Each structure stands twice: as structure tokens, then as C-alpha cells.
Amino acid sequence: MRLIFVGPPGAGKGTQAKVVCVKAGIVQISTGDMLRAAKVAGKLPADLVTKMAAGSLVPDDVVISLIDERTKAPDCANGFLLDGFPRTAPQAEALGKLLAARGQALDVVLALEVPADLLIERAVLRRTDKRTGQIYHLKYSPPPPGADLEHRADDLEEVVRKRVETYEAMTAELLPYYEGLGILKRVNGVGSVEEVTGRILAALGEYLAR
């Protein structure tokens, strides 16, 4: 199964992707995680560090080449879930071309829908365990004692607002594009993590059963 999760920042893509990937036996590929790992390793150019901290997108060619390389790896043979890519029309076109060149296609694009007021609270109170990558929320999924927590530089309220605006301006336009291809499924992302997981698994049912 080749799957994309599209949704605004804080919608719950990363949280749900981890569950779906275990169920489906596929790998999660998050361009945001890859860029943050490059930053920690000191390999992300300074101008991109600045862009990310400000809530701006990094250039298309940077993320397209990350995805091109990563999806060639042997662990992607059974499928993958892209979380946070594509985010622009050129990224979506490049993805379509690179898959077509390998005789592959996308199965489903799942849009996780959450209203803007909830997104701010979800992202601002998000904390991630540096060692395990586990995603917590100070109110809704409190971290256990001893977790080595990180607060993302771009999860400050003003930056989250800008990222939501960028999503609406650049990424939301991908939904009609994938709708036109007949592979878009919209899922309501409001409710508990378990409720949303249930909706996603129901929406993906026919693919999970294959």
C-alpha cells in the first residue's frame, strides 16, 4: 500500500501514521522528521534551519530528492506512508512522475480534517520524546515521568498560525487534485486518538485486507 496523509500541522498525522504503519506493515516517511534529523546531525544548511523555525516551507527540490532516495530503499518494497509530503503542486507532480517511472502508483490520499482552533492547542502543547520519537500532548496524551522531551522550535503559537496559513495557501489545493484522481478519502480528525484511528482504519479497510 502506498499512502499519503495530508492535513494541517497538528492534525494528528504523525500520531495516526505510527498506528497505521504497524497495522499495514509499511514504513512511515516524514519529511519533517528527516529534516529535523538532518538538523540535529548538523547537516541541514543554515538557511533551511531558519526557514523551518519560521514556519516556512523548505524548497521543493530539497524534499523531492529526500523522498526520491528514501522511497528507493528496500524497506519500502511493501509500501509506505508519506506524512507531510507532498505539500505543494510541484511536489505532487514530482512524486507522481517518480512513482510512474518505477511502475508504481499511489493507492490512497487520506485527508485528516481538524478545525484551526484545535490545531493551535494540539501543536503548542505537543512534546516529542527525543529518544523514541513518541509524540505526546501535555493535556491529551501526557508523557510518562522520565521521558526526554523536546518542544519543537516551530510549535510556538505564532509560528503554528503561520504554518496553518501556509497549509491553507499551498497544501490544501492538493486535495481537489487528488480528488480528481479518485483516490482522496476525507476523515474527521476531531475526537480521541482512538476514535480517529477507528475512522482511518475503516476508511482504509479494503486496502488493509489485501
What is the rounded distance in angstroms from the CA atom of residue 3 to the CA atom of residue 183?
10
> Which of the ranges 33-41, 48-56, 101-109, 192-200 carries the binding residues for ligand ADP, by CB under 6 A?
192-200
Max CA separation in the chain (angstroms)? 48
Q: Is residue 116 involved in binding ligand ADP (CB under 6 A)?
A: no
Residue 113: all three cell numbers together: 480534517
Give me the sheet containing 80-83, strands edge to edge.
Answer: 27-30, 80-83, 2-6, 108-113, 184-188
Query: CB–CB of 157/165 below 8 Å?
Result: no
Site for ligand AMP, residues 86 to 145, rule: CB under 6 A: 86-87, 91
- Partner in contact with 31, chosen from ligand ADP, ligand AMP, none, beta carbon below 5 to 8 Å by kind: ligand AMP
State the nearest-atom distance from the C-beta of 121 to ligand ADP, in Å.
8
Residue 167: all three cell numbers together: 497549509
Site for ligand ADP, residues 17 to 46, rule: CB under 6 A: none
State the nearest-atom distance from the C-beta of 118 to ligand ADP, in Å.
8
Residues 6+ apart with CB under 8 A from 87: 57, 63, 167, 170, 171, 174
Which residue's C-alpha cell is 484511528? Answer: 197
Q: Is 70 a catalytic residue?
A: no
Number of residues located near ligand AMP, criterion CB under 6 A: 18
Q: Is residue 192 involved in binding ligand ADP (CB under 6 A)?
A: yes
**Of 170, 193, 201, 203, the one binding ligand ADP by CB under 6 A:** 193
Q: Is residue 178 involved in binding ligand AMP (CB under 6 A)?
A: no
Q: Is 13 a catalytic residue?
A: yes
Residue 101: all three cell numbers together: 517511472
Distance (Å) of CA 1 to CA 67, 109, 206: 16, 11, 11
- Partner in contact with 122, chosen from ligand ADP, ligand AMP, none, beta carbon below 5 to 8 Å by kind: ligand ADP
Binding site for ligand ADP (CB under 6 A): 7, 9-15, 122-123, 126, 135-137, 140-141, 191-193, 196
